[in-house]
Each structure stands twice: as C-alpha cells, then as structure tokens.
C-alpha cells in the first residue's frame, strides 16, 4: 500500500442529510469504468464546509441526451462560456470536452440537490450515503470561490 503525503489535509465532514445545498466544485478525478466509459468523480464543498460527491459521465443517458452534464454546464458557466456553447451547436462529448467543462467549473458555486442512496457494505449490511445528483444555477450565477 502506498501513501502520497499531503502537508495541508482538509478537515473533512460529509453531508449527512438529503437536501439542496449551495456548493462549489472543490475537485474532480477522472477515470474509466470497466466498460471503457469515461466519467469524473466530483467533490463539492458546501458553505458549511461539508463535502459531498457526485458523478458526471461522457455516456448519454437513457434518452440519448446528456441531461446531467448539460445541467452542470448551465449551472457553472459564465456568460462568455454560455455564448461559446451556444455558438458551437452540437458538440462531441468526449474526454477532452468533459475535462474542459470541469476545469472551467472548478471553484465555482452552484446549487446541488443531494439525495440519499443505499449501498451494500463489505460486511454485507446496508449503509446510506449521499450524492449530488442534480445541479442548478444560482440566481447570481457561478461566483468563483465565495467561501
């Protein structure tokens, strides 16, 4: 097992109930699934300093759209980026496009709808976790690093 030293560890407390939170995109980590689908694990930080994760993928949803990605983009884009997305028309959603969207969004605020989800623990019992599943634009827009 290996360790990468972090000289400035964050005091982490996690969201413990479902609800709608104002949060900023703190970080993201991109990877591939076993089916070679590209996705990113997102970490959001609420105004109270609590953390919650979420996922975005290059894979289209069941309707053939990228609804969650579109909502995230609309929630975090500044006006010049909105204009760029509109002028582009249809774009290919691939690794580089997702990373571009995420790099732009890092440190920006949005509204995240956190939902409870159950999962099976390693010992076979059920646990409850929380995940940011829906995204919305704040009335003032995606301010950079407000807290």
Higher pLDDT, 20 or 121: 20
Indicate the pTM of the whole model. 0.84
Give pLDDT, residue 106: 95
Architecture of domain 19-136: Beta Barrel (2.40)
Query: In DSSP terms, which residues pair with 57 in a beta bridge?
Result: 39
Percent of the chain scored above 90 by pLDDT?
Answer: 71
**b/e burial code for range 30-40 (CB count within 10 A of at least 16 → b):** eeeeeeeebbb
Over the stretch 69-109, which tens digit does the pLDDT of each residue have? 999 999 999 999 999 999 998 999 999 999 999 999 999 99
Domain boundaries in the chain? 19-136
pLDDT for the residue numbered 64: 87
Arithmetic mean of pLDDT, 17-44:
94
């Amino acid at each position: 097992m290996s360790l990468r030293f972090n000289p400035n560890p964050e005091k982490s407390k996690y969201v413990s109930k479902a609800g709608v939170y104002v949060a900023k995109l703190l970080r993201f980590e991109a990877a591939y699934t076993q089916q070679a689908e590209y996705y990113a694990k997102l970490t959001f930080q609420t105004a109270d300093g609590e953390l919650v994760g979420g996922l975005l993928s290059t894979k289209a949803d069941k309707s053939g759209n990228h609804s969650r990605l579109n909502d995230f983009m609309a929630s975090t884009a500044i006006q010049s980026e909105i204009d760029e997305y509109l002028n582009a028309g249809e774009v290919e959603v691939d690794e580089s496009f997702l990373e571009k969207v995420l790099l732009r969004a890092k440190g920006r605020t949005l509204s995240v709808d956190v939902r409870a989800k159950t999962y099976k623990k390693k010992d076979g019992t059920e646990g409850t976790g929380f995940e940011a599943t829906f995204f919305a634009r704040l009335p003032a827009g995606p301010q950079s690093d407000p807290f």
